[in-house]
Structure 1
Amino acid sequence: MSPQLLGLLIGSGFGTAFVLANAGEPLPEGAGVAMRILAVVCLAAVVVVGFRGDRRGGTGRGDARPGWFGPRFGLVVVAEFALIFGGIAVLRALDAPQEINVAWIALIVGLHFVVLARVWKRGAIAVPGIVLSGLGAAGMIMAAGSSVEWIPFVSGALSGVTLLAGSLYGAARR
């Protein structure tokens, strides 16, 4: 399995998890169910298209780059986890609404993609990173207002859709 495919599988897996966990109320039940079904279908499409591309040798340009998941990647992931869990602890200590956690996670995951775009010299990875960061920031702002119940949809489900769309696009380009 190529490093690019592994990244696409991780992104689409987390995207699916974001949608499954956050496509609920206050959305109408039918809309939430439809989003969840489409997320699983999209995950399956990434798997099928991605593995077909790997079998054809379509690893894309530069996939053999040494250190794809090397020390710099490890440092970014360690920082990401520290920021996610440290930030959630701070938010809890500040008595922030629980819904803000998904906004914080989306913000940090988005920033991690922006940093990885520089580490891997793959500008396209920054695009979903910027979108996720924006959706996370939107949720943080919503927490200050009266729209707390919509944070899981905006920062969670829409972030999942972003990850799935980016993963499907990446798999199809291979």
Structure 2
Amino acid sequence: MVGAVFGAVFVVINAQSPLNTLTAGLLRVIACLAAASVLAMWFLTVRRERSAGTPAAASAGTTPSAGTARPGGPGMYGRGYLVILVAEVVLLYGGLQVLAAWERPVQTNVAWIALVVGVHFIALAPVWKDWMIAVPGTVLSLLGVAGLVMVSTGALDWVPFVSGVLSGVVLLVGCVAFGWRIMAATRAQAVQTV
């Protein structure tokens, strides 16, 4: 859910000129609908799990191990997660302050944010023992780097689209796909218990 919300925020804030008004509005609506679908899938999954009395994560291929737990479970938020979260906050805040001190264009901020968020997902992959999270992390990192390069070119106005909107789309697609995977596992488990 957090990834879907941040993905929608990335799109809503960054869908702007040079996109035309219709395209920007359509992207915002689609992003909000995608985030709402993730929320709906979460509620449906929780309701099914409570009815069945067992979590769906095991049958979704995300079997808990000693260092991890089902998505959102307590094993996900241990010391490794906290270290990465603190590093992310320091890099985000510190980086934005450095960019401001260097008087970089404001569009640079979204590229920096995409890079740091992407790297944080890559760092979380071994902590959560889920290498699939490194895929969107790598794409977000690349979109952040592309935006940082674009800041120094004539494509400055497109940085919010490349590093912001496209990063948001990556997050939303990943969250919707994960939501479907968990819902399918919950449904399959419910059928097996009947």
Same fold (TM over 0.5): yes
Aligned CA RMSD, in angstroms, stands at 1.2
Find the residue that maps to 1:96 and give its secondary structure.
coil
Which whole-Å CA distance do the structure 2 matches of 1:167 and 1:51 have between them? 14
Which whole-Å CA distance do the structure 2 matches of 1:17 and 1:66 have between them? 26
1:122 corresponds, among 130, 146, 162, to: 130
Q: Give the TM-score taking structure 1 as reference length.
A: 0.92
> C-alpha deviations, 1:21-58, integer Å up to 9, x for none?
00011101110000000001101110111221222222
8 Å contact 1:116–1:125 — kept in the other structure? yes
1:171 corresponds, among 162, 172, 179, to: 179
1:97 corresponds, among 105, 110, 122, to: 105
Which whole-Å CA distance do the structure 1 matches of 2:77 and 2:122 have between them? 16
Aligned: 1:160 with 2:168: yes
Partner of 1:38: 30
TM-aligned CA distance change 1:66 to 1:43, over 3 Å? closer
Identity across the alignment (%): 43
Find the residue that maps to 2:75 and give its secondary structure.
coil
Which whole-Å CA distance do the structure 1 matches of 2:168 and 2:111 have between them? 12
Deviation at 1:66, TM superposition (A): 5.3
Partner of 2:90: 82
2:41 corresponds, among 46, 49, 52, to: 49
- Unpaired runs of 5+ residues, structure 1, are 1-8
Partner of 1:138: 146
Which whole-Å CA distance do the structure 1 matches of 2:147 and 2:156 have between them? 8
Considering only CA atoms, is the larger Rg found in Structure 1 or Structure 2? Answer: 2
Q: Give the TM-score taking structure 2 as reference length.
A: 0.82
Runs of 4+ in structure 1 displaced over 4 angstroms? none
Find the residue that maps to 1:79 and give its secondary structure.
helix
Which whole-Å CA distance do the structure 2 matches of 1:86 and 1:157 have between them? 23
Partner of 1:15: 7
> C-alpha deviations, 1:137-169, integer Å up to 9, x for none?
000000111111110111001111111110001
Aligned: 1:26 with 2:34: no
Which whole-Å CA distance do the structure 2 matches of 1:18 and 1:24 have between them? 11
Partner of 1:68: 76
8 Å contact 1:16–1:164 — kept in the other structure? yes
Find the residue that maps to 2:77 and give its secondary structure.
coil
8 Å contact 1:50–1:172 — kept in the other structure? no
